[in-house]
A and B are shown apart, each in its own frame.
Chain A
Amino acid sequence: MMFTVPMKLLSAAVLSRDATFVSDELLRIGSLDAVSMKDISGTNADAISNQPRDGAADRIREARKRVEGLLSLADPAIPRPDPAGFVGSAIPDAAIIEKQLDAVAAHINGIRERQKEIQEQILKLDEIRRQVEAYGTTHERPVLAGSSLLVIRSGTVAESDWPSLEKALASSPAVLAPADVPVNNRRSLLVVTLKRDDARTMAALGRYHWTDTERAAEGKGNADEALKDINAKRDKLRRTLDECAADFRKLYEEKGASLADAWAGLRAAELSLRVRSNFSHTESVSLLSGWIPVSDQRLVEDGIRKASDGRCYIEWLDAGQASVDGMAPPVAMKNPRILVPFQTLVTNFGVPEYGTIDPTPFVAVAYLCMFGLMFGDAGHGLVLVIVGALGLLRARKAGKPSTLSRLILYCGGAAIVAGLLFGSIFGQPLLPPLWFNYHGVVAGEAELAAGGVRSVYDILGITIKFGIAILGLGLLINWINLTRQKKWLPLFLDKAGLVGGWIYGAGAWVAFYFVGHQYRELPSMGLLIPLLAIPTVLLAFKAPLEYLEKRRSGHEKGKFGGGTIMVFFMEWIVSILEIYSGYLANTLSFMRVAGLGIAHVSLMVAFAQIAAMVSPNGAISIPGLIILLAGNTLVIALEGLSAGIQALRLNYYEFFSKYFNGTGRAYSPISFRSVD
């Protein structure tokens, strides 16, 4: 956890006939971050050949993605089985699977076509309904006959013709309102159509010996009846649509399991082929190479021996030995689950260099401290905790990443702790502060101030000291990293090295001394010389020493002369400026923590005062509560976002700039957890 995960470079030779078993075993273990054997074989590179790119692998990948898509159509989604159980099985025939998928797609298409036909009929009915509704739906306004768009016919058909007529008009945009009981073996009927469809409707009615009758002024001749019939027809069509949906579900009940199995088989084959594609070959031997975490070394070695029945040669190289051009070990960070959101913050910035300190735990502490200082309110923190928890539940339910929700949850926790330290709940100093009363200090109520903090200057002072601690921690991490990497020159003379740290520490002490003496007195020269002058002079040695090192290693071949000395001098001046102005800026940058904290309190005080203004007698009123609610909501949303962004900025640009080298390559083993 303290440092990035140590890696070893595996190089192995197995018989070609065992290659498949070995690749399957490596896939099961899921630790191999493969590298091309050609990259490490040096002069023997010509004797080996890489696995030729196989079109079958692409086809399997495409088929797998297609199955994934089809599986995602099911509701609820069909869980994908673990492909591990399919490793070692014969590689599926992509052509056969594609045919199965085409059949499923065709079935779905058939269902959609049916839905489309039904939908068209629903749309026609909807149109008639719109017309009917536009011209009244009550008994008091039975004005359908007066509609300029609709035709209403009242008449009868023989009872024996009624079923056929109903069938004939089923697919036409006509609404039939039949009487419940036939009279004299004839059924009374009301037919509503759009005028533009009247000719077609009349033709159908004529075929079934329709006889016009005079329409009653009330009863069936009104729009309610027509609407009733439209709704009945529509409901029937809706039920048919439901049947289509049921057919769709049935399709997945029947095919879902085989689709899921097909996916697992294809995924296992795809990954197995991907492992094998990194193998190199001689005539009868397959060679493989890749980075493995040291913790998995035994497991991988045993796996290869078992899969090859002992017919193998295995060699392990330490990361230091293997660090040749283009062969830098990949970087894995192993942190507890609780720190995952902070690890994401780190990797969003960059991947640290291999073998250096994993900054995640430090970022977690620094980020939460900064957030808490800027957003110190137990009530607001509680809101963030609730929002984060809800987001977490939602993400879990949807099977989506929950990093942001977790981060909000943790920030909420930090705000609660800080709120208790400052005694602040929803912008009110309701609790006795454990540290100092932020509200009292900001409002200038000295009698409320406590804990040695009496003014906003004291708060600014706290954040500056906090900044010095963070920057100091960054320097310490840098020194440890450089020591482990045996980079002695940067360790001593870099601006974030020991000399830089010396100047920074001494400079901070001098600054506090100056402030402590009312800006009138600096330490004596006897102190200033060893504290600042000596390390500043030492910086002048950096450029010449670097030059000498480059000449020794052959990287510097230019002629030494006056120009070179001038360059040394200029580099020294630049270093001095960078250290003095850079560190000052870095430190003062932490004043934003105080700034946002003060703004948070000020805004809440302002909203409390506005709320008090609307209730001059001091009683709690509804408008006052609304103002407080709106104020709290605004502050939580805006200040929460600002505090989160500023905390991130301080980590990225002040803390990371002291030690972080984002040149690492992320460890990316081929495993069932691989994302693609």
Chain B
Amino acid sequence: MADALTVYGFLSAKLKTRISAFLPGDRLDDAIRAKSLQEAFLPLRGSYFESLENIYSTTGDLKAVEAELFAMEAAAYIELFHFLEDPALSFVRATARAVEIEAVKSVLRLWFDAHARGRAIDDRTGYIFRGRVIESLDMEAIVNAPTAADLVALFRATIYEEIVSRLIPEAVMLGSVFELESAMDRLYFEGLFEACSRLNTKDQEIARRFVGLEVDIQNLTSLVRLRSFHDMPGDKVGRYLIDFGSSVSASSLAQAYTTDSIAGAAGALLGHRYENLASIWNKGDTKTRLAALERVLRQVRVSEAERLLGGYPFSIGIILSYLVLKTEELRGVRTVLNAKYYGLAEDRIRSVV
């Protein structure tokens, strides 16, 4: 097996250079202060995001810009494949599955809207991500599949075949893709855990911490959504949670859900650094609480990434840090541009970026 320096030496240097070229905070702040959406693109000039202005100027279409941002996120993962070998490659591919699943979910939602709900989707199909992350999927055919059987056929011989064939008929019957999407999330984490177990001891330690945090975030977000939007009975919650979070087990969380102590569970989940979470949680309506929660969760992710970045450079940590920070960078740009489109006030934008 190649030593850590051979595996990560080049990539570590490359990614650290990339991170140093990320959009500086003051540029994003300039975009926040811009008086119109068109002007918000100006501070992005000379950066990785320069091409977005051209897309917007020629189409006037922010969705096209968002589609490009999604493609950039996928490209960030895919590019790493070329520089790695197993078992690190398998792990990075497993993390990239998150992007692919997001793309698959979008396209399934479109299919579901058009076929199960009879809604028009013409204004959305143009923005489908048609690139390949891991699986070879014909997104065009999926969204246009005339029947559920045709749809299932399109997922044949992919990792999604079992889930889609099992849950699409149920989704059509129940009128909801929630189960399907939850199953896909679980699939992502199962793959991540499996890939993680194949890493060497040192990488495994780092990756488990990262994956555990991801699980915590996923579980907490699921809990909030289950309560706020689906009003799920307590005894059914457990099956939507992923086990092996970094702080609290899925069963404890499920118990917290039934005893209506999500705030306490959230505090325990995020550790002492975020003990004020309970006070945030108890304020405002569901929407406000969700926003506050997501903000804290993002902060945790970024803190973890920065901590990893400052540590031993020849490990899987540098890759995970890069991916987290890249995702955050893309999210920041996406959020600001959307906020400008909807004319939100600067303070409001800053509160979510």
Q: Flag if B59 contacts A105 (CB, 8 Å).
A: no
B274 within 8 A of A: no
CB under 8 Å from chain B, chain A span 68-95:
69-70, 72-73
Contacts of A69 in B (CB 8 A): 34, 39, 42
Q: Flag if A114 contacts B60 (CB, 8 Å).
A: yes
Q: Flag if B140 contacts A130 (CB, 8 Å).
A: yes
Number of interface residues of B (CB under 8 A): 29
Q: Flag if A112 contacts B146 (CB, 8 Å).
A: no
User: In the bound complex, how far is the Cα of B37 from the Cα of A373, in angstroms?
Assistant: 54
CB under 8 Å from chain A, chain B span 145-174:
146, 150
Contacts of A73 in B (CB 8 A): 38, 42, 57
User: In the bound complex, how far is the Cα of B164 from the Cα of A536, in angstroms?
Assistant: 87
The dominant DSSP class at the A interface is helix
Q: A115 and B60 in contact (CB under 8 A), knowing A120-B126, A127-B126? A: yes
Q: Flag if B144 contacts A126 (CB, 8 Å).
A: no
Q: A66 and B39 in contact (CB under 8 A), knowing A112-B56, A116-B61, A195-B144? A: yes
Q: Flag if B144 contacts A194 (CB, 8 Å).
A: yes
Which segment, of B79-87, B117-125, B230-238, B244-252, faces chain A? B117-125
Q: A173 and B35 in contact (CB under 8 A), knowing A69-B42, A113-B60, A149-B146? A: no
CB under 8 Å from chain B, chain A span 141-175:
148-149, 172-173
User: In the bound complex, how far is the Cα of B255 from the Cα of A443, in angstroms?
Assistant: 82
Q: How far is the CB of A658 from chain B (nearest CB, A)?
A: 33
User: In the bound complex, how far is the Cα of B59 from the Cα of A666, in angstroms?
Assistant: 46
User: In the bound complex, how far is the Cα of B141 from the Cα of A173, in angstroms?
Assistant: 17
Taken residue by residue from 297 to 309, chain B's Cβ proximity to chain A (1 for < 8 Å, 0 otherwise) reads as: 0000000000000
CB under 8 Å from chain A, chain B span 101-150:
114-115, 120-123, 125-127, 140-141, 144, 146, 150
Q: Flag if B59 contacts A109 (CB, 8 Å).
A: no
Q: How far is the CB of B345 from chain A (nearest CB, A)?
A: 15
Q: Flag if B37 contacts A112 (CB, 8 Å).
A: yes
Number of interface residues of A (CB under 8 A): 37
Q: How far is the CB of B156 from chain A (nearest CB, A)?
A: 16
User: In the bound complex, how far is the Cα of B306 from the Cα of A32, in angstroms?
Assistant: 45
A455 within 8 A of B: no
| Contacts across chains A and B counted by CB atoms under 8 Å | 82
Q: Flag if B126 contacts A124 (CB, 8 Å).
A: yes
Q: Flag if B125 contacts A123 (CB, 8 Å).
A: yes
CB under 8 Å from chain B, chain A span 213-253:
241, 244
B187 within 8 A of A: no
Smallest CB gap from A123: residue in B: B126
Q: How far is the CB of B70 from chain A (nearest CB, A)?
A: 16
Question: Which of B34, B59, B140, B141 is close to A119, meaning CB atoms less than 8 Å apart?
Answer: B59
CB under 8 Å from chain A, chain B span 1-42:
34-39, 42
Q: Flag if A116 contacts B35 (CB, 8 Å).
A: no
User: In the bound complex, how far is the Cα of B150 from the Cα of A109, in angstroms?
Assistant: 42
User: In the bound complex, how far is the Cα of B112 from the Cα of A606, in angstroms?
Assistant: 66
Select the residue from B126, B140, B141, B146 with max chain A CB neighbours within 10 A. B126
A111 within 8 A of B: yes
Q: How far is the CB of A598 from chain B (nearest CB, A)?
A: 29
Q: How far is the CB of B344 from chain A (nearest CB, A)?
A: 15
B201 within 8 A of A: no
Contacts of B122 in A (CB 8 A): 120, 124, 127, 172-173, 197
Q: Flag if A120 contacts B150 (CB, 8 Å).
A: no
Q: A105 and B36 in contact (CB under 8 A), knowing A120-B61, A124-B122, A196-B114? A: yes
Contacts of B146 in A (CB 8 A): 148-149, 195
B64 within 8 A of A: yes
Q: How far is the CB of B101 from chain A (nearest CB, A)?
A: 23
Q: A109 and B123 in contact (CB under 8 A), knowing A69-B42, A114-B60, A149-B146? A: no
Q: A127 and B61 in contact (CB under 8 A), knowing A109-B38, A112-B38? A: no
B259 within 8 A of A: no
User: In the bound complex, how far is the Cα of B123 from the Cα of A612, in angstroms?
Assistant: 64
Q: How far is the CB of B342 from chain A (nearest CB, A)?
A: 12
Q: Flag if B144 contacts A116 (CB, 8 Å).
A: no
Question: Which of B35, B115, B120, B125 is close to A102, meaning CB atoms less than 8 Å apart?
Answer: B35
Q: Flag if B38 contacts A105 (CB, 8 Å).
A: yes
Smallest CB gap from B114: residue in A: A196
User: In the bound complex, how far is the Cα of B15 from the Cα of A531, in angstroms?
Assistant: 55
A200 within 8 A of B: yes
Q: Flag if B61 contacts A108 (CB, 8 Å).
A: no
Contacts of A70 in B (CB 8 A): 39
B58 within 8 A of A: yes
Q: Flag if A196 contacts B144 (CB, 8 Å).
A: yes
Q: Flag if B64 contacts A196 (CB, 8 Å).
A: no
Contacts of B34 in A (CB 8 A): 69
A335 within 8 A of B: no
Taken residue by residue from 58 to 86, chain B's Cβ proximity to chain A (1 for < 8 Å, 0 otherwise) reads as: 11111010000000000000000000000
A101 within 8 A of B: yes
Q: A109 and B126 in contact (CB under 8 A), knowing A130-B140, A196-B114? A: no
User: In the bound complex, how far is the Cα of B73 from the Cα of A554, in angstroms?
Assistant: 64
User: In the bound complex, how far is the Cα of B36 from the Cα of A237, in angstroms?
Assistant: 26
A49 within 8 A of B: no
Q: Flag if B115 contacts A116 (CB, 8 Å).
A: no
Contacts of A101 in B (CB 8 A): 35
Contacts of A194 in B (CB 8 A): 144
Q: Flag if B38 contacts A108 (CB, 8 Å).
A: yes
User: In the bound complex, how far is the Cα of B60 from the Cα of A244, in angstroms?
Assistant: 10
28 contacts between A and B (CB under 8 A): A69-B42, A73-B57, A105-B38, A106-B36, A108-B36, A109-B37, A109-B38, A112-B38, A113-B60, A114-B60, A115-B58, A115-B59, A119-B59, A119-B64, A123-B125, A123-B127, A124-B122, A124-B125, A126-B126, A127-B125, A127-B126, A127-B140, A148-B146, A149-B141, A173-B122, A196-B144, A197-B120, A241-B58
Closest 9 CB pairs of A and B: A123-B126, A115-B60, A112-B60, A105-B36, A116-B60, A119-B59, A69-B42, A149-B144, A119-B61
| B residues at A contact (CB < 8 Å) | 34-39, 42, 56-62, 64, 114-115, 120-123, 125-127, 140-141, 144, 146, 150
Known pairs A115-B59, A116-B61, A196-B144 / 16 extra A-B pairs, C-beta < 8 Å: A66-B39, A69-B34, A69-B42, A70-B39, A105-B38, A106-B36, A112-B37, A112-B56, A116-B60, A119-B61, A123-B127, A148-B144, A195-B144, A196-B115, A197-B120, A197-B122
